Structure 1
Amino acid sequence: MRGFESIEALEDALRAQHYLVDEGLATVLFLALRLGKPLLVEGEPGVGKTELAKALAAAAGAPLHRLQCYEGIDVHHALYDWDYPRQLLHLRAGGSGQLYAEEFLLRRPLLEALDGSGGVLLIDELDRADDEFEAFLLEFLSDFQVTIPEIGVVSAERPPAVIITSNRTRDLHEALKRRCLYHWIDHPDLERETQILRVRLPELPESLVRQVCGFVHELRWLDLYRLPGVGETLDWAQSLAALGREEIDTVATDRTLGALLKSRDDIERLRADGLEERVARVRDAPG
């Protein structure tokens, strides 16, 4: 994977991919790349953890290998499996030779990451996986090699950059944390979120960008079941723009709350809390 000569060069490369980082995240990401260590990023859903890996791969011109974790994931889903239907067809067609050869190997994300391209390996939402899989992953990250009994040892000549994300639905093991550098990604402040919308949605009117970000930041002070992330802010801004709005208003806000909030209780609470007054306060705020 392409290296970055400085933290500033990394920041500029990510900005070119419409991903803005603060100094803390830029520094720890630069060090993870320079030291060859995995980077564990935690934070609330929607703060840009997954997008960080996507932007890094695009900025470096490297392939992205994404492993989406879930409850019950095992080695066959993460590493490799055999294409049994193709093997059966091969036998029925009278084929000969080794059935457990590379031509019948189904490469999953972890094995793909060992292809020597030095890409980016994204292990997404590791907290959803169980303890056994986390233990296997720790071993994999130690030497970036695996043994396939029918083929032999597969190792990476150029290990990938590794980004691990977690929403903290459970605590990860200390052994894994010690293997990684760490960063907590919080919701951006008002100024940074406004910058993000300007970069990602440059076609939107400035008044709409400012008011959308102001409204979302007011919501993050409420005791909601799920606070809106940057992804929801972008979705809501695009929804209002698609309705032809250049500023927020009560009617359009009420009709598009499903782009911003993903819980019926949160939507009903916001309506009961005085939606019209909240919209008016944000619209009248000084620019």
Structure 2
Amino acid sequence: MPQPSSWFSSPADAATRLAEAGYLADATTATTAYLAGALEKPLLVEGPAGVGKTELAKAVAKVTNAELVRLQCYEGLDEARALYEWNYKKQLLRIQSSQGSDQEWSATHDDIFTDEFLLTRPLLTAIRREELTVLLIDEVDKTDVEVEGLLLEVLSDFQVTIPELGTVSAVRRPFVVLTSNATRELSEAVKRRCLYLHLDYPDAEREREIVTSQVPDLEERVAVRLVETISRLRELELKKAPSIAESVDWARTLVALEIGELDEKAIADTLGVVLKHASDQAKAVKELRLRS
């Protein structure tokens, strides 16, 4: 079993093993993934939606047989949802059951602030695990700035302070991946504690490799045409440009419909697989001069 300081033996090993999980990493991605494990530093992955940021964390977990612990960030996320909270209902029941007994309040207080009453959330769960763990902090840019302060203690020392129990330090540091769509600038304090990787849409050749690896039944010439069309769609000013996952979904759709020629009609008929806004579809039909 690999040690937490050596999730991958080299950048080449990272590239090979990630590819086995269906994640085709370029040299920069493979090197950064290797260093995140070797240096035991969190990895901040930034880029537009749908370029494989979350999938990178999933692939690392898969190829290392690690448990994936995911914290999905959103506006309004607080400490109780990210770190831990006390099971107040259970504590109240314990307090009620001790009433009328000779037990002093101080003893009752100490009794109800124990592991038995602790509800661990993703950050604390990952810190306390002794097995290999990948901690995915997804879309961190969607949280409030205040939440970053909570992350600093975890990312700096891999420890969490619980006033009633003391400081909980990681026995085995997790492989931490933070993803961001760059909807807001993260603090320098958070960035300073992380390695940084920017992922963008792949070039045509790499995207074709990704699509054909995921959908091997797709004819080569159709794959080339699909990637060319996806590239043209991304050049338009759309509400939501098609992601790599949507390219793969489109490929699967074409195979399912037994479409052997991706002509204008075929594109128009299946456009809903890759464009999820009516205005985007209308713009694509106009700009690409599609006919239904």
Work out whether the TM-score is over 0.5.
yes
Using the TM superposition, give the Cα deviation of residue 92 of structure 1 relative to its aligned residue in structure 2, in angstroms.
6.9
SS of equivalent residue, structure 1 residue 27: helix
| Match among 159, 162, 167 for residue 145 of structure 1 | 159
Structure 1: 5+ residue stretches without partners: 280-287
Provide the C-alpha distance between the structure 1 equivalents of 2:90 and 2:216, rounded to a whole number of angstroms.
48
In structure 2, relative to structure 1, the CA distance for the partners of 1:89 and 1:249 (3 Å cut) is farther
Q: Which residue of 1 aligns with 2:183?
A: 169
Provide the C-alpha distance between the structure 1 equivalents of 2:289 and 2:116, rounded to a whole number of angstroms.
60
Q: Alignment identity in percent? A: 47
The 10-residue stretch of structure 1 (96-105 or 14-23) with the greater mean CA deviation from structure 2: 96-105
Cα deviations across residues 29-57 of structure 1 (Å, max 9, x unaligned)?
Answer: 21121111111111010000000000011
In structure 2, relative to structure 1, the CA distance for the partners of 1:162 and 1:274 (3 Å cut) is closer
Cα RMSD over matched residues? 2.2
Q: Which residue of 1 aligns with 2:66?
A: 62
1:184 paired with 2:188, answer no
The 10-residue stretch of structure 1 (109-118 or 219-228) with the greater mean CA deviation from structure 2: 219-228
Q: Which residue of 2 aligns with 1:198?
A: 212
| Match among 238, 242, 245 for residue 228 of structure 1 | 242
Provide the C-alpha distance between the structure 2 equivalents of 1:143 and 1:274, rounded to a whole number of angstroms.
52
Provide the C-alpha distance between the structure 1 equivalents of 2:18 and 2:8, rounded to a whole number of angstroms.
11
Q: Which residue of 2 aligns with 1:25?
A: 29
Provide the C-alpha distance between the structure 2 equivalents of 1:128 and 1:72, rounded to a whole number of angstroms.
9
Provide the C-alpha distance between the structure 2 equivalents of 1:276 and 1:102, rounded to a whole number of angstroms.
62
Structure 2: 5+ residue stretches without partners: none
Task: Give the 5 Å matches for 1:1-287.
Answer: 1=4, 3-88=7-92, 98-114=111-127, 115-276=129-290
SS of equivalent residue, structure 1 residue 207: helix
SS of equivalent residue, structure 2 residue 112: coil
Using the TM superposition, give the Cα deviation of residue 65 of structure 1 relative to its aligned residue in structure 2, in angstroms.
1.1
Letter in 1 for 2:282: E
Contact residue 139 and residue 180 of structure 2 kept, 8 A: yes
Letter in 1 for 2:115: E
Provide the C-alpha distance between the structure 2 equivalents of 1:228 and 1:262, rounded to a whole number of angstroms.
9
Provide the C-alpha distance between the structure 1 equivalents of 2:90 and 2:21, rounded to a whole number of angstroms.
40
Contact residue 268 and residue 290 of structure 2 kept, 8 A: no
Using the TM superposition, give the Cα deviation of residue 88 of structure 1 relative to its aligned residue in structure 2, in angstroms.
4.8
Using the TM superposition, give the Cα deviation of residue 208 of structure 1 relative to its aligned residue in structure 2, in angstroms.
2.8
Using the TM superposition, give the Cα deviation of residue 210 of structure 1 relative to its aligned residue in structure 2, in angstroms.
2.2
TM-score, structure 2 normalization: 0.88
Matched pairs, number: 278
Cα deviations across residues 239-276 of structure 1 (Å, max 9, x unaligned)?
Answer: 22222323323344223222201222211111122443
SS of equivalent residue, structure 1 residue 220: helix
Letter in 1 for 2:281: I
